[in-house]
Chain A
Amino acid sequence: MPVTPTYVLLNQVTLSASTGTITFSNIPQNYADLVLVIAGTGAAQYRLNPNGDSGNASLVYADGYGSSTASGTDTKISLWYAPNSDSIVSITHVFDYATIDKHKPILTRANAASGAVSMYGSRWASTAAITSLVITSSTGTLISGSTATLYGVHA
């Protein structure tokens, strides 16, 4: 049976200066899922706005801080929580992003070196296909050398 190589690199950004916003636009519509990998330093909290939409978002989180835990809900799609603005890695899966029959489930696992280990289950409450991802700061900015990488996964 033929198999399909996938997990295709769509674009990678390496910041040459501090920035508060990264945009991936004109995302191809021929994959099933997107995977967004961010490795960086300097920003306490970033959020994801599908198609630039800062509304229609909801999230449940579970954080571990080393000596305590917390769970709650929010109305933004968070990508990480690093209260000390230290090194972070965040991996986000955007499922069925090109479909027009369902809200978009978004799943994130994030680590901050001295902050929190986190998992987020999010939903963008729109049936529109996602054609762009805007990654924007809630608190702080990513510094030079931070990377954001977008992959497409076939199904």
Chain B
Amino acid sequence: MAVKSLAQSSVRQAPPVNSMLAGYRPNQFHLLETVRLGANTASVTFSNLQRYSDYQHFQIRAVARMTYSDPERSLTIQFNGDTATNYYMHGLYGNGSSVGSYAFSGSSIFLGSFPAANATGSVFTGCVTDILDPFEAKTKVVRSLAGTHWNQPAVSLRSGMWVNTAAITSITLVDATSNLVSGSRFSLYGIKARS
């Protein structure tokens, strides 16, 4: 069934939608900042986030690949510049032949596997990461969905925890042994609470 052209339809306010973040309303979903890399870069940091303290949740939407010589690398997230071993995570993944699960603790939270230098050209992975209650005095919880198919296929769902009750004032996205490739994009969104 063909539907009418989008060009012929008017943009209207969206109704509530069943989404990754249950309960949010699309008209309360705001783009806060975007970083588009024009050169290979070691890390991306969103800082001074306390100015967004009127938001209940954050979401990061990323399209990225890495420079490392492996077919894949893991993008990780850290908060407030904390590089100590204050992070825990679980992962559920499919690699094209089996489903696996693992647990990990360390100095960051893995968000997903991204193509690296050996991957097919023009291949980037998409990743959606939700950061819940970044300004509340509780341990911070993260969940992330990432994946694409390339010569090392991977799709994963990960949950992580930063064991700190401080408000999140900065977010750093980094791979410790690789650069983020020019053309990668990282967008930070804020989601309002229901009024």
Chain A: residues with CB nearer than 8 A to chain B? 1, 3-11, 13, 15, 17, 19, 21-28, 32-33, 35, 37, 39, 58-64, 69-73, 89, 91, 93, 95-96, 101-103, 105-107, 109, 119-123, 125, 127, 149-151, 153-155
Complex Cα gap A32–B185 (Å): 10
Interface stretch among B80-88, B93-101, B131-139?
B93-101
Is residue B147 contacting chain A, with contact meaning CB distance below 8 A? Answer: yes
Contact check, B99 vs A93: say whether CB atoms are below 8 A apart: no
Which range holds the interface residue count of chain B?
35 or more
Q: Is the interface of A mostly helix, strand, loop or mixed?
A: strand
Q: Is the CB of B20 within 8 A of A122?
A: no
Question: How far apart sit A72 and B96, CA to CA, in the bound complex (Å)?
Answer: 4
How many residue pairs bridge A and B at CB < 8 Å?
A: 195
The interface of chain B, by Cβ under 8 A from chain A, is: 1-9, 11-15, 17-20, 26-27, 29-34, 51, 61, 63, 92-99, 120, 122-128, 145-150, 153-157, 183, 185, 187, 189-190
In the complex, residue of chain B having the shortest beta-carbon distance to the beta carbon of A101: B183
**Contact A60–B95 (Cβ < 8 Å):** yes
User: Are the CB atoms of B51 and A60 closer together than 8 Å?
Assistant: no
Given A96-B124, A107-B148; 10 other pairs, CB 8 A cutoff: A6-B31, A9-B14, A10-B11, A11-B4, A32-B185, A60-B96, A72-B96, A73-B96, A96-B126, A107-B145
